[in-house]
Structure 1
Amino acid sequence: MIPKNAQSLPKAAKKVWLIEDAISFLVLLIIVVAINIFLKFDWHSTLLSWINGLFGVALAMTLGYVMLIPYRYRFYKYLLHQNAVSIYKGFFLRRTKTIPLNRIQNVDTSQGPILKIFHLQNVVIVTAAHEFKIETINEDVAQYLRDQLIMAARQAREVAIDD
């Protein structure tokens, strides 16, 4: 269960996800149209039928992702605990990732052009085995969270060494 004090993403995250899905769809559409032009719209071609069929599946998946944006937004949360950081995703297909602070090796922020337009960043938490991402949070919150995680990870390591 997602704790009540878990942090939600800003509402602009929904716009970013919509734009990213639209860009993916447009790139795929351009590729399929180019292939159709290259194969001269030969509708009797088995290859072209398969390509157009795959495009139809990709279209359905993209529309599915777009329709699930409110669901994804509502159940994507994160929480900084005293000894760990938790990332919560989903309700029906629930995933909780908890990263102990003493296992954190690196904390980065990343920002592509779409995130920059909306003044958002991703926070990437790196451990020895995995990389975890808290997506689309406000720039100032991302910097604050990054600083807090780095400081907490240092303190957790110092406590572990003293024991």
Structure 2
Amino acid sequence: MSVQIDVPFTPAPSFRSYLILVTAFGMLIPTFFFAFMVFAITDGMGGALAVMAGIFVMLAFAGGIWAYLYYGTVHYLLTPTEMTWGRGVLWRQTGIVPYNRITNVDIIQGPVMRIFGISNLRIQTAGYSANQLAEIKLQGINDPEPLRAVIMDFVRSGHPVAAVTGADVAATPASGPSQAGQAADAAMLVELREIGVVLKRIEEKMQ
């Protein structure tokens, strides 16, 4: 995918179909639970199967509607200093992750996701990586390598490399010591010299 800075982007269209399919099949678990309860009460396999089929159709339909709506709420944004995300149908969630907190970006692709040609990017940060947990996931990315390259380049150097990834950002000069960093080094050097003078005076008095 072509990554553009300060331009929101959404998951691949195939992610919607993936969500609908996975959500629908995920309804099998509560369906079997309700069917088992009916079978235990009525002691009849036919009634349990009929209830199971009805519940599955109802839950699969509701799950498919939710997945369809959920896809329309997911969006991501890369800026020169941080990445933001938002999603949620009933309960809206948004977040901001500065690049200086990111420690690693992993690409995750399961067998079903491979069929749909999509992957997830798992973003690990300093506060989460110790437990091998992801603070956020960029879901439904059809070409994850360029996106990961842009994010990791921000993490390493503070500006992306647009030549390979297609990121639409202005080139920045090679990083060097900032003026603030130089001032801090100079102040530290002065303090060390003063400490040296004090230690020399103490040594002279002890002799």
Q: TM-score, normalised on structure 2? A: 0.58
CA–CA distance in structure 2, aligned partners of residues 111 and 92 of structure 1:
27
CA distance in structure 2 between the aligned counterparts of 1:121 and 1:151, rounded to whole angstroms: 20
| Secondary structure class of the residue paired with 1:8 | coil
Taking the TM superposition and a 5 Å limit, the aligned residue runs for 1:147-158 are 147-156=149-158
* Corresponding position: 1:146 with 2:141: no
Kindly provide the amino acid, as one letter, of the partner of residue 7 in structure 1: F
Per the normalisation by structure 1, the TM-score is 0.72
Q: Which amino acid aligns with 1:136?
A: G
In structure 1, the partner of 2:80 is: 82
Equivalent residue number for residue 129 of structure 1: 127
Relative to its length, the structure with more strand (as a share) is: 1
Q: Which runs of 5+ in 1 are unaligned?
A: 46-51
The Cα of 1:30 is off from its aligned counterpart by: 4.6
For residues 109-137 of structure 1, the C-alpha deviation after alignment (integer angstroms, 9 at most, x for no partner) is 10001110011000010002242101111
| Cα distance change of structure 1 residues 66 and 135 upon mapping to structure 2, 3 Å threshold | same
Q: Deviations over 1:21-73 (max 9, x none)?
A: 1221234445665x46xx9x33269xxxxxx9xxx6x9866543321223211
Write the distance in 2 (CA, Å) between the matches of 1:94 and 1:137. 21
Q: Which moved more, 1:109-118 or 1:122-131?
A: 122-131
Q: Which letter does structure 2 place at the counterpart of 1:133? A: K
Segments of 5+ residues of structure 2 without an aligned counterpart are 1-5, 44-50, 129-133, 159-174, 182-207
Matches within 5 A, 1:40-51: 41-43=39-41
How many residues align? The count is 144
The amino acid that maps onto 1:127 is: T
2: distance between equivalents of 1:21 and 1:29? 13
